[in-house]
Structure 1
Amino acid sequence: MAEDGVRIGRRTFLELAAAGAAAGAAAAPDRAEAFGLAQADDALPPEREVPTFCELCFWNCGAVARVRKNRVHSLRGHPRYPNANGKLCGRGQAGAASVVDADRLTHPLIRTGARGEGKFRRAGWNEAYQIVARGFGDIKARHGAEALALFYHGSGGPLLRQMLVAYGSPNYAGPSYAQCKGARNVGYQLTFGEKLVSPEPIDLENARAVVLFGSHLGENAHNGQVQELVRARVRGASLVVLDPRLSTVASKADVWLPIRPGADTAVILAWLHLLVAERTYDRAFVEARTTGFDRLAAHVAPFDPAWAAERAGVPAQRIVDAYRLMVNAMPAVVVHPGRHTAWYGEEDTQRARAQAILSALLGAWWRPGSTYRTERATVDDYPTPDFPDLPRNVDQAAGRFPFAEEVTTNGLRDATRTGKPYPVKGWFVHGTNLVQAMPNVRETREAIANLDLLVVCDVAPTEITQYADVLLPEDTYLERYDDLSLGFTRTPYVGLRQPAVASPHDTRPAWRIAKELGTALGVGDFFPWATFEEYLEVRLASAGLSLDQLRRDGIALVPRKTPLYLGDGEAYRFHTPSGRIELWSQRLADAGFDPLPVWKGPPPPPPGRFRLLYGRSPLHTFGRTQNNPILFDLEPENTLWMSPADATALGLAAGERVMVGNAHGSETGPLALHVTERIPDGAVYMVHGFGHWAHRLHRARGRGGDDGAVIDDYVVDPISGSTGMRTQLVTVRRAEVA
């Protein structure tokens, strides 16, 4: 590594890569089950091919299931889906293993032991529905319908949300907001008046420069974006990456800035300073489309590259080098907004605001090579009665998070724990393992202890299912219909998920559970369709489409009604109070927050403690796939990254098993230590989602470490409600040998 700590020579990089491969080889199986399945002696050609879309992650890539009898033999990418480009990632190709997983939930269960013990008896669906209906009815009678909450993730969630709203509760939330993208969404909405969608509307196909802030493209396997980034690099687009860790994508960068954790905004402020001081910003775009430039210019005047370099721990010249790459490419610059941005609390919204303002000064918004306008296919909802007027949700009633776009999971949990601003006594949890998805497990357990009824609906027996009073098993995504997928890509589309095979167990899809349980709750008139095919037919007909067509093709591409980009000179009023891109935010100022981005930065950890960083694996989705037979074989556990200097100071060697703990006495592990120059001193890193303890996850149980088990010291962003989780400091010790 060079003296400036930025450039890595080929020899050093290959040595690092070889060391990583050797560390991984120690835990690798002799032969991955993936290859055993592919080479099975009884492999036969498929009898039929069924188009659908994947549910292994939120990308929902188009897929084609190759089926023989009642078994999915393989999956491949759907050639017409814009978000997949005919390809599936490794985990998407392993989706069929969830159907035959012997650990999956197979029938309704009623709790018999204490919550958390995982002791249940088998029940029928009618009995399960009646228990839920009586329990929810009792809660509504005592506390009002708002005392019921839905936590959800995935394609089945919207119809369950419809059931809850029809019953009279406004309290529905997904961890994908407060524990992931909330601060990002709010920062961009305050600036551009536009909500960011998934996949993000970035124009990598035409980009000449790409800037990533801790976005581990390739490691998080965002399929379409990874393909487009690779093509952009082949085409010659430059790449700038800010990340304390040498991630896979950082190793491919023209400029990698290994900043101190939490210093991103300081570097952006220096870039804004340079754009203003050197008058290299897109003056025509700024004058025509923005407001607050003069205030911004005065604000960033002190923040030169030397100021940022001191705070970020990188050479000032490298900050300038990255700036030059952007200026040379503007406006065809993708400033990637990121996705998981819940890092440091209020700092996260300020960082998102700074990223958005950087895009505006570069003229890189709704212009070729930057972002494009989103457009969704117009498909009517299925007709229902009018929904009831709803009371205020828990966050509104508490007067918190003035700019939050959604109810926060942490707000619901706090109301359940404390009874304030009003009690929440019943939870319906669908497709999300709250024990791993939310920080501070003790608070989650405390909230669960205060519940009168906890209902969990899932495919796999994850940790949250251990606490359920009623457990409802869902069909896998290859066994069910779900609601239509309405894509926001360059070309709007309507996608269909349909059953490729029938479930061999007593499981049901979320739409059926919503309809049948809704009927038991007395809101069946909000699900008036006789079959789900009827529901889909009515919705599709409103767009001039048919279910037969979608069953055959899997997708219908819809012509755009609006231009992809904002034309030069085109009159447009942004959805902000001023009608312009708001560099200075009066709304933030009126609410008592900084109207322009500021940087404060987290303090460095004291000796012997480390900032816990975490990320994704291309082979796993959060904590949902570790028990998948194929993916478990390929990556059975995670490791803990630590710098050589820190490992030496602790007397630890590569490959040793270690435990990671916090100041509150929680620990996770053991997991293998990966000693590498790719992580800075004072920080450690692990892939999220391992370290399961649920009894019925026979493969994943006890393998690796769970970052969520030790993240207790989170910080809530008062602007968006997002939970900053990289504020946690940890200790590392050698694991005791049994």
Structure 2
Amino acid sequence: MAATSTASCPIMCVSGCGRSSWSARGRQAAVEGERRVMGCSRREFLKSSVAAAAVLPLANLHQDEPVGLRLARAAPSAALPTLCGMCPWRCPLEVRLEDGRLAAVNGNPRFAPTGGRCCAKAKAAGRLLKDGARLRHPLKRVGKRGQGRWQRIGWGEAIDTVAAALEGAAGSDLLLYAGGASSRYIVELWRRLGGRVAANTRFCRHDAWEWRGSLLSVPASPRPDCLVVLGGHLGENISIAPLRTVLDWQAAGTTLVVVDPRCSTLAARADLHLMARPGTDEALLLAWLGFVFADLPEADPSEAAVRRLAASFDPGRAARLAGVEEGLIRKVGELLRRGRGMVRCGAGRRWYGEDQARLAAILLLDRLSSGAAPGGALPETALAPREAPSITAAAGANGRLARIIGCWGHNPLQALPDPFATMRALDRAELVFACDILPSESVLYADIVFPEAMFLERTDTFSLFPGQDGVVAGMPFPVIEAEGEVRDPYWISQQLAVRLGQTQGFEHTSIMARIAADLAPYGVTPAGLWEGGGLLPVTRPGTAADAETPPGEAAAPDAALPRAA
């Protein structure tokens, strides 16, 4: 990939785009201090990074003043709209400033699903903003990986070092651990380079199959007579929108059934709590399928095997396996058979095992008990195959480890099951770079560290939400002036893309211009969102740009049951 010259490049780079004589960075360092990394506090890490080098002149890195500051000067008491960045829900917020400083964070009253509320994490955003351990300058490792010895460098050297390694690497040698909305642009670049992306590889998302119908979309669904939730920790996850909907349904007459071996917040509010033994919920699902099948004629010969399997799991057998009273199983089965039922396995993309049969049973029971036709495709709830995350994801063809590993808003040392195998994979890579707000364990193993702006200081991409009358769009706005040399995710990815000659999608002069182009098909502009209080109704285009494209065809859930019985 040839670098683009400064003269022909439509985007001005940090220190020019010409080639440099980069040296090879082959390393095979032994794994030392594997356990020591867990004992290094963030503040200790920060103290070790103050060995400063001269910062390169950054005359062309000026960022526009946050729109919130301009408005706050004109109207000090104004509520500034943005989206929360403290978790994947991205709840709409309103921020108030006093003398240019954060004074209050509240939910956006225009967003019906949350009722204008926000959780404690959003309320505590000011602490993250002023955290003394925040990464505020680009860093270069000067000690062994994991030691936390750093040198402060300029953005030009940081970008050049990573771009040099990417330029000479094959796509099969590139691995990116990506998390959060800020990783959108680096993921785009990484895929153009042919690299592999491991996204959302967390314990709570350790599944090979993703259920794409989530409780976040339930406001648009008719209220069921019976709602069965398996392992849904809406309270512990502080999932305000779906939790509020579920409790409203319950108050209106829905019978709430929770299947969970633990007494979760939602289980404590349930009408029926079935404390099934871990791993036995499939027996309950099959027993309930038997109740629903009893009133349905066999419309498709392919259902015969599923019916026979369900018949073999009568309530008595399911009770013995799950350790639940048979009477409770029969009661829930009758509720699902008589009324409109809904079966869910938690909110959003939470962990629910790698067993395709279990998810297939949930989808089939949900479809049949809701009154949908037994045969045919499942609307809006297709199974999409996903790669199960593990350290084996760091291996390429024939088990070869990735040469270049990036950690963007993601900490695989905490997210993957075997942290020591992850340490070894990171230690054997030729180059590891990280982009984050705080120094995590993966940052300790990085050769180059990009400091990213936090959500109150930046924007990243827009989001679409279910509203009362359709879909609404929202986007985060920078409402606080950024400290140090932190940058937004588009800018960092753009600098890498320009050096690598991959300017498609990065030709916009700023992240606001890029978001404006992405929003155009929806008939919404960033200025309109700002003036509209952060949220506006949209009409989805013919091909929804926000829809996740499954990496392969979903397997038929009905056929999956007998195979895995």
TM-score w.r.t. the length of structure 2 is 0.77
How far does residue 108 in structure 1 lie from its aligned partner after superposition?
0.8
Give yes or no for contact 1:147–1:424 (8 Å, CA) kept in 2.
Answer: yes
SS at match of 2:528: helix
How far does residue 533 in structure 1 lie from its aligned partner after superposition?
2.4
Query: Which residue in the other structure is 2:547 paired with?
Result: none
Structure 1 residue corresponding to 2:109, chosen from 76, 79, 101: 79
How far does residue 418 in structure 1 lie from its aligned partner after superposition?
7.6
- Structure 2 stretches of 5 or more lacking a match? 1-74, 543-549
Structure 1 residue corresponding to 2:328, chosen from 297, 318, 323: 318
SS at match of 2:187: helix
How far does residue 148 in structure 1 lie from its aligned partner after superposition?
0.8
> In 1, Cα distance between the equivalents of 2:307 and 2:521?
49
> In 2, Cα distance between the equivalents of 1:127 and 1:266?
58
Give yes or no for contact 1:426–1:452 (8 Å, CA) kept in 2.
Answer: yes
> In 2, Cα distance between the equivalents of 1:527 and 1:555?
26
> In 2, Cα distance between the equivalents of 1:432 and 1:197?
23
User: Which residue identity does 1:359 align to in structure 2?
Assistant: D
1:507 maps to 2:486: yes
Q: Matched residues, percent identical?
A: 27
1:180 maps to 2:205: yes
> In 2, Cα distance between the equivalents of 1:544 and 1:341?
32
> In 2, Cα distance between the equivalents of 1:291 and 1:444?
48
User: Which residue identity does 1:240 align to in structure 2?
Assistant: V
SS at match of 2:420: helix
> In 2, Cα distance between the equivalents of 1:162 and 1:198?
28
1:70 maps to 2:82: no
> In 1, Cα distance between the equivalents of 2:480 and 2:394?
39
How far does residue 261 in structure 1 lie from its aligned partner after superposition?
1.0
How far does residue 197 in structure 1 lie from its aligned partner after superposition?
5.7
Query: Which residue in the other structure is 1:349 paired with?
Result: 356
Query: Which residue in the other structure is 2:520 paired with?
Result: 541
Query: Which residue in the other structure is 1:249 paired with?
Result: 266
How far does residue 157 in structure 1 lie from its aligned partner after superposition?
1.2
Structure 1 residue corresponding to 2:311, chosen from 280, 301, 319: 301
1:145 maps to 2:152: no
1:42-72 deviation digits (Å, cap 9, x = unpaired): xxx9543211111111111111111223322
How far does residue 350 in structure 1 lie from its aligned partner after superposition?
1.7
Structure 1 residue corresponding to 2:446, chosen from 468, 483, 496: 468
Structure 2 residue corresponding to 1:361, chosen from 368, 380, 394: 368
Query: Which residue in the other structure is 1:121 paired with?
Result: 151
Aligned in 2, Cα 1:244/1:340: closer, same or farther, shift over 3 Å?
Answer: farther
Aligned in 2, Cα 1:373/1:311: closer, same or farther, shift over 3 Å?
Answer: closer
Give yes or no for contact 1:152–1:173 (8 Å, CA) kept in 2.
Answer: yes
Aligned in 2, Cα 1:472/1:132: closer, same or farther, shift over 3 Å?
Answer: same
1:253-272 deviation digits (Å, cap 9, x = unpaired): 22211111111111111111
Give yes or no for contact 2:167–2:500 (8 Å, CA) kept in 1.
Answer: yes
Give yes or no for contact 2:223–2:249 (8 Å, CA) kept in 1.
Answer: yes
Structure 2 residue corresponding to 1:97, chosen from 107, 127, 140: 127
> In 2, Cα distance between the equivalents of 1:475 and 1:322?
49
How far does residue 202 in structure 1 lie from its aligned partner after superposition?
6.7
How far does residue 495 in structure 1 lie from its aligned partner after superposition?
1.1
User: Which residue identity does 1:93 align to in structure 2?
Assistant: K
Structure 2 residue corresponding to 1:530, chosen from 492, 509, 515: 509
Query: Which residue in the other structure is 1:439 paired with?
Result: 417
Give yes or no for contact 2:139–2:448 (8 Å, CA) kept in 1.
Answer: yes
SS at match of 2:94: strand
Query: Which residue in the other structure is 1:335 paired with?
Result: 344
1:558 maps to 2:538: yes
SS at match of 1:64: strand
Give yes or no for contact 1:183–1:341 (8 Å, CA) kept in 2.
Answer: no
Query: Which residue in the other structure is 2:41 paired with?
Result: none
Greater shift in the superposed pair: 78-87 or 91-100: 78-87
How far does residue 416 in structure 1 lie from its aligned partner after superposition?
3.3
Query: Which residue in the other structure is 2:402 paired with?
Result: 424
How far does residue 203 in structure 1 lie from its aligned partner after superposition?
5.4
Give yes or no for contact 1:174–1:408 (8 Å, CA) kept in 2.
Answer: no
Greater shift in the superposed pair: 330-339 or 53-62: 330-339
1:641-672 deviation digits (Å, cap 9, x = unpaired): xxxxxxxxxxxxxxxxxxxxxxxxxxxxxxxx
User: Which residue identity does 2:230 align to in structure 1?
Assistant: F
SS at match of 1:48: coil
How far does residue 443 in structure 1 lie from its aligned partner after superposition?
1.5
> In 1, Cα distance between the equivalents of 2:215 and 2:232?
15
Give yes or no for contact 1:67–1:74 (8 Å, CA) kept in 2.
Answer: yes
1:643-682 to structure 2, matched below 5 A, reads: none
How far does residue 201 in structure 1 lie from its aligned partner after superposition?
4.5
SS at match of 2:485: coil
SS at match of 1:134: helix
> In 1, Cα distance between the equivalents of 2:199 and 2:215?
15
User: Which residue identity does 2:363 align to in structure 1?
Assistant: A
How far does residue 428 in structure 1 lie from its aligned partner after superposition?
1.2
1:379-398 deviation digits (Å, cap 9, x = unpaired): xxxxxxxxxxxxxxxxxxxx
Aligned in 2, Cα 1:49/1:408: closer, same or farther, shift over 3 Å?
Answer: same
> In 1, Cα distance between the equivalents of 2:154 and 2:388?
33
Give yes or no for contact 2:276–2:323 (8 Å, CA) kept in 1.
Answer: yes
How far does residue 293 in structure 1 lie from its aligned partner after superposition?
2.3
Query: Which residue in the other structure is 2:292 paired with?
Result: 275
SS at match of 1:481: coil
Aligned in 2, Cα 1:182/1:487: closer, same or farther, shift over 3 Å?
Answer: farther
- Structure 1 stretches of 5 or more lacking a match? 1-44, 189-194, 375-402, 563-574, 589-593, 599-738
Structure 2 residue corresponding to 1:210, chosen from 217, 220, 227: 227
Query: Which residue in the other structure is 1:166 paired with?
Result: 192
Give yes or no for contact 2:216–2:347 (8 Å, CA) kept in 1.
Answer: no
> In 1, Cα distance between the equivalents of 2:405 and 2:183?
14
SS at match of 1:172: strand
> In 2, Cα distance between the equivalents of 1:167 and 1:214?
39
User: Which residue identity does 1:152 align to in structure 2?
Assistant: A
Aligned length, in residue pairs: 477
User: Which residue identity does 1:212 align to in structure 2?
Assistant: V
> In 1, Cα distance between the equivalents of 2:301 and 2:403?
46
1:313-335 deviation digits (Å, cap 9, x = unpaired): 1121111122223234x324343
Aligned in 2, Cα 1:358/1:501: closer, same or farther, shift over 3 Å?
Answer: same
1:228-270 deviation digits (Å, cap 9, x = unpaired): 1121121121111111111121122222111111111111111
How far does residue 414 in structure 1 lie from its aligned partner after superposition?
1.6
> In 2, Cα distance between the equivalents of 1:548 and 1:102?
34
1:528-554 deviation digits (Å, cap 9, x = unpaired): 111222223333333322221112221
Give yes or no for contact 2:460–2:490 (8 Å, CA) kept in 1.
Answer: yes
> In 2, Cα distance between the equivalents of 1:106 and 1:578?
44
How far does residue 91 in structure 1 lie from its aligned partner after superposition?
1.4
Query: Which residue in the other structure is 1:638 paired with?
Result: none
Query: Which residue in the other structure is 1:14 paired with?
Result: none
How far does residue 312 in structure 1 lie from its aligned partner after superposition?
0.7
Greater shift in the superposed pair: 332-341 or 231-240: 332-341
SS at match of 1:513: helix
> In 2, Cα distance between the equivalents of 1:229 and 1:424?
44
Structure 2 residue corresponding to 1:517, chosen from 496, 504, 525: 496
> In 2, Cα distance between the equivalents of 1:303 and 1:108?
59
Query: Which residue in the other structure is 1:584 paired with?
Result: 558
How far does residue 343 in structure 1 lie from its aligned partner after superposition?
5.5
SS at match of 2:523: coil
1:192-212 deviation digits (Å, cap 9, x = unpaired): xxx436835575662222111
Structure 1 residue corresponding to 2:161, chosen from 124, 128, 131: 131
Aligned in 2, Cα 1:112/1:177: closer, same or farther, shift over 3 Å?
Answer: closer
